[in-house]
Amino acid sequence: MLRFDELFLRMSSESTLIIGAGPAGLAIAGQLHHLELPYQIVEQASTVAPAWYRHYDRLHLHTVKKLSHLPHKPFAESLPQYIPREDLVAYFEAYAKEKEINPDFGVTISSVKKEGQNWVATSTGGQVYPAKQVVICTGFNRKPHEPQWKGMERFKGKIVHSRFYKTGKAYAGQKVLVVGMGNTGAEVALDLFECGAKASLSVRGPINIVRRDTFGRPVQETAILLSKFPHVVGDTLGKLTSILTVGDLSPHGIERPDVAPARQLRETGKTPVIDVGTVDRIKAGDIRVFPTINSFGEEDILFDNGQREAFDAIILATGYRPALSEFLDSEEGIFDGNGYPANWKVEAQPGLYLLGYDVYTPGGLLLSIRRDSERIATDIASQS
C-alpha cells in the first residue's frame, strides 16, 4: 500500500501547478475547474490579484468590459464600460469564490525544473510541488524596472516607482516629474495635475498615442477590427485616426513615430498610449513635457537638451520586467527575438505553459489571457 506522502506525490504529479493568482492564474484555474481537471495554485501574496489592490486609485480598465472579463463569467450588466479598479478587485474575489479557486497563499516559487517526465517547483520556504504541467502566471509586471541616472543618490526629494503610487493627493502643491509616458505615466501625470500638483513628464522618444474613444467607438474595438484587414489598410487608417484625433504634439515636446500604432504593436510589442485626458492637459500647458534625463542634482534634474528644472518628487513610470529567469531552470524556447516571453505553450519544454505575456495582439492582455487560457486548458485536457 502507498504511504500518504507517496500518494500525495503521485496525485500531485498527475495534476497541473499554476504559479500566480493574478488574472492569468485565475483564468486558467477557472478553465480547469470548468473541465473538472485537477490543479494546484500558489500565490506569493495573501490575496488573489494583489496587483489590482495596489494599483493607483483613479485607475479604470482602458479596455472595454465585454473584452476584459475572465472565462465563463462576464461582468455584471450594472458595471460601466470601463471597469473601475475597486470593482475589478471585487470581481476577481467573486471569481475565485465561484470557481472554488483556493490558492496556497504566501508561497513564492523560486525554482521550476523538469525532473524526468514531471515538473517540480520549489518555494523559498522549501515546499515542493510536483506536477505534470506547470502554467507560469507570474505576470509581465513582476519586477519594477528602475533605471539609474548619474547623481540620483544625491537627489533630496522623493523618488518612487509607479508601482507604489496610489494618488496625487499626497503631492498637492508639489512639482513632480513623471519619468516615462506609457499608459501608466500618462495617467499618473493627469492624476497629479487633477490633485493639485505641478506635473511634468519626461519623454524618451516618439510616442504613438490614440484616444480611448475615437469617433464614438472604443479604440480597442477599432484596433481589433482593423487587424482583420490587410496590414496596409489597418496601419494607414490607424495612423490617420491618431493624426486627426490627437493632433500634432511636437510643439509640446512629443513627436509621433513614423511607424503606425498597430504595426509598432505587432512588430515590437509596444502598446500605444491610450489617452484618457493627458493630451488635452499637455496642449493646455497644464502638464509640461521634458526630454530624457541626463543627470540628477540635489534638487533639480538636468535634461538631455541642457534644460535644468527643480522638482520635489520623481515618479518612475519606467515599466516592469517579467524576470522569469529568476526561477526557470531552463530558458530554452522561452524568449522571442524581442526578448519577450513566449506565449501559451513552450514547444521546446513539453508541459510548460506561459499565460499573460502576449504583448503583440491588439485588444489588451486581459483578452489574450482569456483566449490563451482556453487553448492551454484544451491542450492539458488532451493529455489527461
Ligand X SMILES: Cc1cc2nc3c(=O)[nH]c(=O)nc-3n(C[C@H](O)[C@H](O)[C@H](O)COP(=O)(O)OP(=O)(O)OC[C@H]3O[C@@H](n4cnc5c(N)ncnc54)[C@H](O)[C@@H]3O)c2cc1C
In the range 241-280, which residues lie near ligand X by CB under 6 A?
Answer: none
End-to-end CA distance of the chain: 24
Q: Which of 15, 63, 241, 373 binds ligand X (CB under 6 A)?
A: 63
Q: Smallest gap, in angstroms, from Cβ of residue 158 to ligand X? A: 20
Residue 19 engages ligand X in binding (rule: CB under 6 A): yes
Nearer to ligand X, 45 or 282 (CB): 45
How many residues form the binding site for ligand X (CB under 6 A)?
35
In the range 74-93, which residues lie near ligand X by CB under 6 A?
Answer: none
Q: Smallest gap, in angstroms, from Cβ of residue 381 to ligand X? A: 21
Alpha helix stretches (DSSP H) within 247-350: 261-268, 278-283
Nearer to ligand X, 39 or 296 (CB): 39
CA dist 315 to 52, 290, 296, Å?
Answer: 19, 14, 14
In the range 303-342, which residues lie near ligand X by CB under 6 A?
Answer: 327
User: By rule CB under 6 A, what string of x and - marks binding of each residue 177-196 to ligand X?
Assistant: -------x------------
Q: Smallest gap, in angstroms, from Cβ of residue 4 to ligand X? A: 26
Bridging pattern class, strands 288-290 and 198-202: parallel
CA dist 49 to 13, 53, 132, Å?
Answer: 26, 7, 25
Residue 218 engages ligand X in binding (rule: CB under 6 A): no
Contacts of 180 (CB under 8 A, 6+ apart): 201, 202, 203, 204, 316, 317, 318, 319
Q: At 362, list the grid cell.
A: 491588439
CA dist 291 to 76, 286, 287, Å?
Answer: 43, 17, 13
Q: Smallest gap, in angstroms, from Cβ of residue 330 to ligand X? A: 16
As a whole number of angstroms, the distance between CA 30 and CA 41 comes to 11
Nearer to ligand X, 314 or 355 (CB): 355
Residues 64 and 39 sit within 8 Å (Cβ to Cβ): no
Q: Smallest gap, in angstroms, from Cβ of residue 368 to ligand X? A: 8
CA dist 230 to 73, 223, 252, 315, 360, Å?
Answer: 33, 13, 34, 40, 16
Q: Smallest gap, in angstroms, from Cβ of residue 105 to ligand X? A: 9
As a whole number of angstroms, the distance between CA 170 and CA 176 comes to 11
Nearer to ligand X, 50 or 71 (CB): 50
Nearer to ligand X, 136 or 301 (CB): 136
As a whole number of angstroms, the distance between CA 78 and CA 84 comes to 12
Nearer to ligand X, 31 or 68 (CB): 68
Nearer to ligand X, 202 or 343 (CB): 343
Q: Of the candidates 176, 169, 178, which has an alpha carbon nearest to the alpha carbon of residue 196?
A: 169
Residues 192 and 317 sit within 8 Å (Cβ to Cβ): no
Q: Which residue is nearest to ligand X (CB)?
A: 22
Residue 20 engages ligand X in binding (rule: CB under 6 A): yes
In the range 130-159, which residues lie near ligand X by CB under 6 A?
Answer: 137-139, 141-142
Q: Which of 42, 177, 189, 328 binds ligand X (CB under 6 A)?
A: 42
User: Site residues (CB under 6 A) for ligand X?
Assistant: 19-25, 42-45, 49-51, 55, 59, 61-63, 68, 107-109, 137-139, 141-142, 184, 327, 356, 364-367
